[in-house]
A and B are shown apart, each in its own frame.
Chain A
């Protein structure tokens, strides 16, 4: 699938033929196309999200006041679990069919390319979660202002989860049956996002100002965008050995 990237033949020696933004777009488009063709993989994380959210009222209580107080935590935990569940797909197929090795030989920064791949992964697995969340939140009787904050916090937080996850996915890409290990590695790193996201929604629910945690979520996203791909690139070089 990386054929389109190698149109310049033995181009490694000359100047890169694509600009960085162009390269980003090519990889993003390619990954989105591949991801959407593997439709079941992509829809699994959204379905899992819905399933987990459905379990809580059954196990705890269907009463509106109980559900309302549970909603921020439940929806955020479900989003975190859905992200964790989808992570093993991030680099596995590309490592197996050799796409990653092709990327490694390109004269472009690897971290940049991994950032494009991770964002494509977030669009396929994260956006459905962000879209589903407000709909599910209505079934939890969440008022409108908390609903907006919830959606916004997920919009800011789930890309950070995917980026942190890309480190773990890169570290375990070459390992067979590393699913649980991947969760173990990545989940502790994701805790700040979970705390901030759930707390922002909770503050909105109790009528307080949620901008503080939202700003912090934004700061974490910026940190993750700038640092996580570099770390993931180092990890991919180890896994591709």
Chain B
């Protein structure tokens, strides 16, 4: 009954599975991305207050959502790796970090671009923007720690501990930042979302969120593949894969 689970944890099986998964995920992701972008940029009506500027929501919200979701995924994978000593889980956690940092960065940049027409400034010490910036630092700390170890096993376990400790702290950090901002905030227009969003604006947003999630999973599968191959390059199956991939005569 559990054999599929143990198979999943074996590098060659995982490598093959991730290869198939990445294309199964990326093709629908790109299709949904196209539909969502068309719906969001063309079909949805301009907002009565924000005009066309609100359309950045279709990139900003999925990025912000993923930036947090990926951190939790990373910590979960790290915890699984720590508890059950599954190497693949550590490979997944390691592959999550740069993707998550990229989405965090995207959320910050799109937030700033959106802030200019809405608030009249690129940066406002809004609680959500500030939390997002701190999240970016958490990702940098994670990647920095992982990179500092020479021993892969140590790097895996140390960074997993950091990710788990970070996830436990994220609610506290977020709460304190919200509390801080509620005392500090001057008269800014901090309400990002319209209180109720009309249906023809909503469905492209949901489509984009789904597309971004599938895109993340697809990219994750690709990255984990590379990570597993790099970790197992001395194993016979990895040698076979590498030999079949390199052109004739090159090793």
Contacts and interface: CB of A to CB of B under 8 A. Distances in A.
Contact of A234 (B161, B173, B176): B161
B158 A189 contact: no
Interface string A209-241: 000000000001000000100010011001101
B interface, by DSSP: helix, strand, loop or mixed?
helix
Interface string A154-196: 0000000000000100011011001001001101110110011
Interface in B169-193: 169, 172-173, 175-177, 179-180, 183
Contacts of A167: 161-162, 165
A187 B144 CA distance: 14
A199 B134 contact: no
B161 A199 contact: no
A172 B176 contact: no
Contacts of A178: 148
A172 B142 CA distance: 12
B179 A171 contact: no
Choose among B137, B175, B176, B183 the residue with the greatest number of A CB atoms under 10 Å from its CB. Answer: B176
Contact of B154 (A191, A199, A234, A241): A241
B138 interface: yes
Contact of B137 (A184, A195, A227, A234): A184
Interface of A: 167, 171-172, 174-175, 178, 181, 184-185, 187-189, 191-192, 195-196, 199, 220, 227, 231, 234-235, 238-239, 241
15 contacts: A167-B161, A167-B165, A171-B145, A172-B148, A175-B148, A181-B141, A181-B148, A184-B144, A185-B141, A188-B134, A188-B137, A189-B165, A192-B176, A220-B172, A238-B161
